[in-house]
């Protein structure tokens, strides 16, 4: 069974750094892209970026380029999303999800449970 | 502002049929990219509901169906049940935005 288990909720002050994780199991971690999706309070889903753990090839949404860093450690089947200096506006739920290739595109077929990040002074 | 356009809300009585539209453009749905649908129950992670326009993953009831035509797609729920009350999102791939994965803003389905 494919599982993505994310790290727990975080409460941080503005300006602090943060790294959240997404541990994969039940499939070959290095052969599927893992994406990160933001959901701000009361709003919809926004794709942030995606990484291929096999070679760490990473792509970012223009909206998030330079704002976050996505990485992966294939030795422990874990993907990461990190901030160097959090803002209040980073307060949101963050999901990791496995990308599945379809006949004409891509979907996200398995999702982590989400990590709530709260940034407040 | 989302690249894919969905109605904010739809509602129906138990047993009725409701549909949710998802309108894109020539760089995503109209370019031939598949449309996928997700269900997000309150307080939970999204779950893949329909993939590749009209395919259901194992375990998804056949009350849920999808279709695609031109630059639009639709999700239909027949025999609406109380447990279907959730947010529904469409998603596709867009070749014009740094190879982006685009979502609709979501549609809240309310069971009356």
pLDDT, tens only, A32-70: 999 999 999 999 999 999 999 999 999 999 999 999 999
User: Is residue B96 pLDDT above 90, yes or no?
Assistant: no
Listed residue (B30, B42, B29, B18) closest to B103, CA to CA:
B29
User: Is residue B98 pLDDT above 70, yes or no?
Assistant: no
- Kindly report, residue by residue over B29-88, the tens digit of the pLDDT: 999 999 999 999 999 999 999 999 999 999 999 999 999 999 999 999 999 999 999 999
Average pLDDT (A6-30) is 98
Beta bridge partners of A3: A25
**What was the pLDDT predicted at B97?**
63
Listed residue (B52, B18, B57) closest to B6, CA to CA:
B18
B chain contacts of residue A111, beta-carbon cutoff 8 Å: 45-48
B chain contacts of residue A35, beta-carbon cutoff 8 Å: 101
Give the closest-approach CA distance of B106 to chain A in angstroms: 6
B99 touches chain A (CB under 8 A): yes
The upper half-sphere exposure of residue A51, i.e. CA atoms within 13 Å in the direction of its Cβ, equals 21
**What was the pLDDT predicted at B1?**
78
Rounded Cα distance, A120 and A6, in Å: 22
Range B10-38 burial, b when 16+ CB lie within 10 A, else e: bebeeeeebebbbbbbebbbebebbbbbb
B9 touches chain A (CB under 8 A): no
B chain contacts of residue A47, beta-carbon cutoff 8 Å: 100-103
DSSP conformation class of B56: P
| Record: contact B33-A114, CB cut-off 8 A | no
Interface size between A and B, measured as CB pairs under 8 A: 78
């Amino acid at each position: 069974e494919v599982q993505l288990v994310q790290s727990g909720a975080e409460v941080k002050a503005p300006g602090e750094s943060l790294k959240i994780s997404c541990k994969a199991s039940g499939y070959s971690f290095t052969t599927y892209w893992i994406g990160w999706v933001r959901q701000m309070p009361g709003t919809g889903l926004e794709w942030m970026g995606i990484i291929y753990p096999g070679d760490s090839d990473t792509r970012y949404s223009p909206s998030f380029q330079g704002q976050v860093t996505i990485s992966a450690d294939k030795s422990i089947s874990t993907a990461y999303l990190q901030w160097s200096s959090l803002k209040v506006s980073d307060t949101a739920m963050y999901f990791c999800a496995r990308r599945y290739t379809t006949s004409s595109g891509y979907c996200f077929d398995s999702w982590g449970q989400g990590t709530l990040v709260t940034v407040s002074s | 502002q989302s690249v894919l356009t969905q109605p904010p809300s739809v509602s129906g009585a138990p047993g009725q049929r409701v549909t949710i539209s998802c309108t894109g453009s020539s760089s995503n749905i109209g370019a031939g990219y598949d449309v996928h649908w997700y269900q997000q129950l309150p307080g939970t992670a999204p779950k893949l509901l329909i993939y590749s326009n009209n395919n259901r993953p194992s375990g998804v009831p056949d009350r849920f169906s999808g279709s695609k035509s031109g630059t639009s797609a639709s999700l239909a729920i027949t025999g609406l049940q109380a447990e279907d009350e959730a947010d529904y999102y469409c998603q596709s791939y867009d070749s014009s935005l740094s190879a982006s994965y685009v979502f609709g803003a979501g549609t809240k389905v309310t069971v009356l």
